[in-house]
Chains A and B, each alone.
Chain A
Amino acid sequence: MSAAGDDGLDEIQGIFFEECAEGLAVAEQGLSAMAGGQVSADVIAGVFRAVHSIKGGSGAFGHMALLAFSHRFENVLDEVRGGAIPPDAAVTGIMLGAFDILSDHVAAAQSGGTPPADAAMLEQLDKLLANKGAAAEPAPAPAEPAPADEFGFAPVAVDLDILDDPFGFEPVAISLDDLAGEPAGGWTVRFGPSRDAMANGGEPILVIRELERMGGQILDADLSALPPLRDLDPEESYCVWTIGLPATIDEADIRECFDFVAPDSLIDIRRQETAPGAAPPKPEPVPEIAPLPAPALRVVETSEPAAPEARPADAPQQTIRVDLSKLDQLLNLIGELVIQGSILSDRLAPADQERVELPQLARLTRQIQDNVMSLRAQPIRQAFSRVPRMLRDLMAATGKQVVLETIGETTEVDKGVLEKIGDPLTHMIRNAVDHGIESPEERLAAGKSAEGTIRLSAEQKGARIIVRVADDGRGIDRARVRAKAIEKGIVSPDAVLSDEEIDNLICAPGFSTAETISNISGRGVGMDVVRSNVEALGGRVEIHSVPGEGTSFTMALPLTLAILDGMIVRLADQRFVLPLSNVVETVQPVAGQVKRVSPGSEVIELRGAYLPMRRASELFAIAEHQRRAPEESVVIIVESGVSGLVGLMIDTIENRREVVIKSLEDNLYPIRGLGGATILGDGSIALILDIDALIVSPGFNKFAPKGMAA
């Protein structure tokens, strides 16, 4: 609808949707706070402004359904802001519902999909306005909420009529007789700018010039009000002009010229009964025929004339909006810088490194890198903010009652990680409601409160972000899980499994315990997808469940996806990178320290204890003749999320180095057990090991045909 070039418009539209997302987050936070009893002017004003902004842009980009809905929602918010509608629990509930539909509208506008059905919600909003708002509005002219058409498109269309009549200006005289009458002569316009018409940048001469351009002619200038020179204020206006215009001109076009004329000016537009040039008809104040493109919608006014509105505490922050791709580029460049640093340190002898102050350069590089990483860090709230909405939907769909507790929303995570945890998180929450939380009756029978609790938490632990979804539901039914896994052929009937192993079967590919696929969790994907998504990020999933008390799913995620502190190891003349965060210690085994307990299962004795051990050469199916005996190898004790400490046998350790992760997923395809690749100082490529996936995952069988247990 606008004149911007299409490409430009797309880009601007992209920014608009970003703003929508931000606005929705603000609105949801505010509404949730209100639902939690924190009702303050600041919060309400924040929600109002968020919805208001969405409305503003939606019209500009032609998203009419979104515009219509946000407009009605905004009207209610405006009344709440003004105090006419009390933000009690019922009202807040409706507004939360309206928020949900608003989100759907935004999503539909963004994807070009079908707008959500909003008729019922619009009715509720209208009811709110009609009932509670009645006190504030003397004669609300029942809003005439023109029946929404089949697209749920409400009558806002009216105010789309762009150049709204400014300041609802004064009586305009039109005689209906004239309008109905025969062709008649031209128009006679009398224009007497009010005294202070020029005060606000309104220049009467511009109106006259515009009328002249339309073919108008000044017929008369009434200077009778002009004071003696000494009393004349050059900034005031004293004249009344009479202008004749051809009959062919449209009245609306004439009126448009007066759009910005001070409201108390004399403006009299009428058809001439006599030929132009004759004396103009006496102007007389004619009862107004409201020319306003009157908004059919009820306009809600705040009773308090919006004095400097209370603002949320977002004011003092100085921020700048930067395109994410620029940050990515910067990060990439830093990565190259890190690699160049490695190359230099590879090529220079330690003494030379000192001489050229390479260590200082390395330190600076590290600082820049940390800084850039922090630029990309975003509070995890962004991912959490989707959850309340989802829970409301789930509660409605299942009849279960759930209270959400969130902890650590301000924990910062790299934007790339943040973007990718949304889906796993969604699925974990769905899973918790669908399989974890019991129905209110069941809970009461079990001596629990009818309302279940889901606790969503995030915290930073070292170089990892721990995100946990914990419910206080029924816990994992291990007998059932086990039976199902046997039925599905995931484990053999005689396998001996620990509780933990059984719990982890939930994440095994192709596992789903639901007897019938529910429409909530069962969307064709299971927890195995959650696990593989998280592992693709270099993270891991842990499950902890206590029957009758609840289950918790924990995602441990890397802080960043870009740079990794690694240990370079060698295996059969190839180099691999082992994330240092996994490394606990290294051991040079002596004869007899490594014992085979069963085929495919070895342990390493370490200070009197036995740890499971895997040979990397077996995992990677290295040719027999290239494999080394334990005594010629190094065993790295790595910590894995699910199985604790595990030994990984490789050939030798080369050194420790920061490496820039180049994604296999982006450049090739994801390979289980490999977290990515990197370029080493000498220009060669090394694959980065994903320890958790490599060692722990029961589903691992790409490189190790025997896999893990069963």
Chain B
Amino acid sequence: MTKLILTVDDSASMRMLLKASLTAQGFRIEGAEDGAEGLERMHEVKPDLLITDINMPKMDGFELIEAVRDVPEFRGTPILVLSTEFSDDKKARARSAGATGWITKPFDAAKLGAAIRRVCP
């Protein structure tokens, strides 16, 4: 079955790029432009995987992950952080918020696809 991925990023170009690269690899993509909208969309589309940016206006990625994990239904949903940041500190923070993994931007489409399949086969 086609996996549905929700991508949350405040940059429209990044969302489009994700959509283009991942649609080409057989995923279905939905998008949201900040944490608040992301949380709403989670409930709407119930994706198989959430990919989120960290630095976003309104609700940031950490807050979004925490909020998503607070919802029992989403406790097991894999969440990948896709960010330009790469400090261990931030990664640890994401992990404790409930992220499954961290991918550093810029991403390579093929590797991103492989990473996605790693958490969401």
Given A159-B104, A167-B88, A314-B57, decide whether A3 and B79 contact each other with a Cβ distance below 8 A. Answer: no
Q: Tell me how far the C-beta of B116 lies from the nearest C-beta in chain A, rounded to whole angstroms.
A: 10
For B1-37 the 0/1 string (1 means CB < 8 A from A) is: 0000000001111101100110011000000000000
Query: How many A-B pairs with Cβ below 8 Å?
Result: 178
A-side contacts of B83, CB under 8 Å: 56
Contact of A2 among B10, B91, B109 (CB under 8 A): B109
How many chain A residues sit at the interface, stated as a range, is: 35 or more
For B60-102 the 0/1 string (1 means CB < 8 A from A) is: 1011000001000001111110011011111111010011111
Contact of B76 among A67, A198, A314 (CB under 8 A): A198
Counting CB contacts under 8 A, is A597 at the interface? no
Interface size on B, residues (CB 8 A): 56
Determine the residue in chain B with the shortest Cβ distance to A308: B63
Given A49-B57, A202-B78, decide whether A15 and B13 contact each other with a Cβ distance below 8 A. Answer: yes
Q: Tell me how far the C-beta of B93 lies from the nearest C-beta in chain A, rounded to whole angstroms.
A: 6
Bound together, the chains give a CA A259 to CA B119 distance in angstroms of 10
Counting CB contacts under 8 A, is B45 at the interface? no
Determine the residue in chain A with the shortest Cβ distance to B53: A56
**B12, B69, B98, most chain A CB atoms within 10 A:** B12
Given A9-B20, A52-B84, A200-B98, decide whether A164 and B57 contact each other with a Cβ distance below 8 A. Answer: no
Bound together, the chains give a CA A49 to CA B10 distance in angstroms of 10
A259–B115 contact, CB under 8 A? yes
Bound together, the chains give a CA A402 to CA B103 distance in angstroms of 46
For A242-263 the 0/1 string (1 means CB < 8 A from B) is: 0000000000000011011011
Counting CB contacts under 8 A, is A309 at the interface? yes
For A2-15 the 0/1 string (1 means CB < 8 A from B) is: 11110011011101
B98–A164 contact, CB under 8 A? no
Counting CB contacts under 8 A, is A311 at the interface? yes
Determine the residue in chain A with the shortest Cβ distance to B58: A315
Determine the residue in chain B with the shortest Cβ distance to A12: B16
A-side contacts of B69, CB under 8 Å: 200
Counting CB contacts under 8 A, is A411 at the interface? no
Bound together, the chains give a CA A259 to CA B100 distance in angstroms of 9
Determine the residue in chain B with the shortest Cβ distance to A59: B106
A-side contacts of B77, CB under 8 Å: 201
Bound together, the chains give a CA A690 to CA B5 distance in angstroms of 56
A-side contacts of B14, CB under 8 Å: 16, 56-57, 60
B13–A19 contact, CB under 8 A? yes
For A122-161 the 0/1 string (1 means CB < 8 A from B) is: 0000000000000000000000000000000000000110
A167–B115 contact, CB under 8 A? no
B119–A311 contact, CB under 8 A? no
B86–A295 contact, CB under 8 A? yes
Q: Could you name 17 residue pairs across A and B whose Cβ atoms are closer than 8 Å? A: A3-B21, A3-B25, A5-B24, A11-B16, A15-B16, A67-B106, A166-B95, A166-B103, A168-B91, A198-B76, A201-B98, A206-B119, A256-B114, A257-B118, A260-B78, A260-B80, A260-B101
Which 8 pairs, one residue from A and one from B, show the smallest C-beta to C-beta distance? A59-B106, A4-B20, A260-B101, A3-B109, A16-B13, A201-B78, A164-B104, A168-B88
Additional A-B contact list (13), CB under 8 Å, known A259-B115, A263-B92, A299-B86: A4-B20, A19-B13, A59-B105, A162-B106, A162-B107, A164-B104, A167-B91, A167-B92, A200-B100, A295-B86, A299-B87, A305-B93, A315-B57
